[in-house]
Structures are given as C-alpha cells and as structure tokens.
Structure 1
Amino acid sequence: MPSPDPVADLVGRLERAVVASGRRRRELAREIEGDLREAVAARVDAGAPEPLAATAVVAEFGDPRAIAAELSTELLADRGRRFAPRAALAAATLLVVWFVGMTALAAVPGFRVPVEDGWMLQVSRALDAAGPIVAAAAAAGWLAIRRSGSLTALVAVAGLQLAFAVALVAGAVAMAATIAVPAAGAGILAALLVTTLVLGSALAVAAAALLVRWGAVRLAPRRARS
C-alpha cells in the first residue's frame, strides 16, 4: 500500500540512514523536507494533484540509501576539516609542554632518572622526535581533506593523533608513578601531568570518535543491504 505521505516516508528513511549526530540528522531532515515540500507545492500550483506531485518528487529524488551514504561521507569530511588543524595545534602544544617541562625538571637539583627506569628517557626522546612528525602529518592531512575530502587522509591523521596522545598520557602516568621528584620539582611534574592528561585525553577521545564515525560510515551500506 502506498505511503499516505511519500515525502515524510522518504525523509524518515533518509534521516535513519545518515551517519551523524542526532541533532545534525534532524537538521538535515528538516532542510531536505523543506526542499521537497517546495517542489511538491510547485507541481501542485502547476495543476498536478498533490498525491501525484509528491510521488513524482520522491521518485526524482533518488535512492535514499545512496544519498544518505553521500551525505554521511560529506559530513565526516567536514568534521575532519575541523579536527585536523585542532589536532595539529594540540600535538604541537603537547610537544612544547613536554620539552619545557622535562627541561625544567632536569634542572631541578637532585632530580635524576634511576638506571632501571632509563627506558623512560628513551620513550621521551622518541616522543620528542615523533611529535613534530605527528603535527606536520596533521597539517598535511588537513590540506588533503580540505582540498579533496580525502577520508584516507582523515583516518591517517586520526590514527597518528590517537597513538601519539595515548603514548604521551601513558608516559606521563608512568613517570609520575615511578620516578621520585624532589620537592622543588613537584609543582613542575604536577603541571606537566595535568596538562598532558587534559590535552592528551581530549585529543585521544576526539581522534577515537572520528575513527568510530569513519567505521560507521563504511559499514552503513553493508547494514542497509543486509
């Protein structure tokens, strides 16, 4: 039996299929429904019966699943354009914070890293070297996403940022739990730890959320066919 309101039926199917936040899906649904209603009204003004006008407009709109997939990809790319420059800034900030913090700690009288914990210095040096690469990759990825909407660049940027942030947070926690710091350096260590936890955790969560959204966009057409 045909739907009593094919426009509402189409918009509902489209809204359910788009991979985005609930608010963004509702906004898109309202925008698309408004355009469709205007197209129906134009046909009715031209003399077509409203049911036939609505059916014709819906038929011309196309496959809602294919359009939902396109919209989901566009929304994800737009999110990546906003994420990449912020991620580059966050990575650069974390790198500066670690360099300044560790330099300040090294200058505190009595501070030293025990031989058995020497691996931390190696990890710190590795992160110092990786930081500029991660920040530069985020900037390059942002350019690629901005110019072409490349989801490959988006995934690469998010993956690098997630790994970098997790490594920094884990390193900060391990250092705070393992290395004894003189009283004069306690404030420096606390500031380093708090800054790393806040910025690193925020970066990791944002990167992970982007990767999850990318996975949902990739899986959406398969779920629609099943």
Structure 2
Amino acid sequence: MLRLVLVEPEGEYNVGFIARLCKNFEVNELFIVRPKCNINSAIKFSARGEDILRSAKIVDTYEEALQGTGIKIATSSIANNKGDILRKAIFPWELSSIMKSERVALIFGRESVGLTREEISKADFLLFIPANPAYPTLNLSHAVGIVLYEIWKAKHEIKPKMTKESIDLLDKYSKILYGLIRKSDEDYALYIALKRALIKGINDEEEARTVIKFLRKLYTKFLHEDKE
C-alpha cells in the first residue's frame, strides 16, 4: 500500500494534477495536511482522478497523516549538504531497496518552502530528485510524477518484506541505543544513520527479527553493565 501525503499544498492545479497521477499510478491513499488552496476548485485539474480527490483524507496534523504507516519517505530539493546527516538523501531509483513496509508514506511539502527540518526528522528517509544544480527545484506535481513513475517501474520488485511492527522496533532500539551513548545534540546523526542503514540492509522479516533480537540483547547488556 502506498500513501501519498501532501503537506499544506498551495496550488489548486498541483493538487488536481497529483490526484490524476494517483489514478495513473494506482496510489492507494491520498492524505492532505492543512491545504492552503480550495480542494473543490482543484477537481477541474484532476481529470479521471476526481474520485481520488473526493476521497482524499484532509487532516489537521502531520502526525495524523503518517499514522498507521510503516516506512516514511520525505522529499526535498535541498539535500546531501556536507555534515548534515538529516539531509543525506536517497534517489528515486533506489526506492525499491527500501520499500519493505506494508504501508509506505511518500511525503511532499509546500510549493514555496518544502518540508521543515522537524517534518523531515519524523520520516525514515529523505528523497532527492537530482536536476540542474543551477535550478534544482521542480514543480510539485512534476516531482510527484517522477517519483511515482519510479515506484511503478519497479513495482514487480516491491513486495512487503517487513511488518510495521518490525520497522517500529528497529526504530525503537536505534533510538534507545543512541540515547545510551548520546553526549550532545550533534550525536543525533548516529541514530538517523543507524536506523536508515538497518532498514536498507535488511532483506526480509526473518532477518529483521534476528537483528531486533541482537539489538535487544545489546541494550540489555548496556543496562546490566551500567548497574555494576
């Protein structure tokens, strides 16, 4: 299942075009967080995606839009800044290697300013579409189209390989272990890098459970040593 999340979209035409793209590429769910445009007016741009737009879930919070999803993929035209692990990005053609959840959230931000750092930090990965360095920012609906096409192209390879429970546990123990060794706010990069590496590197549910077992034992050992 694929959920497309639009955060505070500003253009009616973009929202309409995106609904049409959802129909083109069989997107299962469309969530819109606090739209800044008239959704009813966007219908005229949606063509045969009108039913997608009419059934879209309009929500008040970012967290509500992500609720119930497994792997969360944020997008940005600003990525791979040296020394900024939060902005270290994957590319569209790498999606098949990480879409291992039963319900994936693909998140796009505002046309004017994109997603905030806080919003990106609540996702598991950041996706970047490379373009002309002199003008890398794409129109919102164009960016959505490129990413959905890449997912469609690799669809035969994209099969749920990990349960949401396992993804949540990998995230949980990555965060716990980070908390045990954290010395400063800059160490947050350790948690992000570990979580991303685990999700990308694990191939199936059996491997996921084995790694979770290892992380749990490692956490228990840390606690035991702290009490000695």
Q: Shorter-normalised TM-score: what interval?
A: under 0.3
Q: So what's the TM-score if we normalise by structure 2?
A: 0.23
Question: Which structure shows the bigger proportion of residues in helix conformation?
Answer: 1
Question: Which structure shows the bigger proportion of residues in strand conformation?
Answer: 2
Q: So what's the TM-score if we normalise by structure 1?
A: 0.23
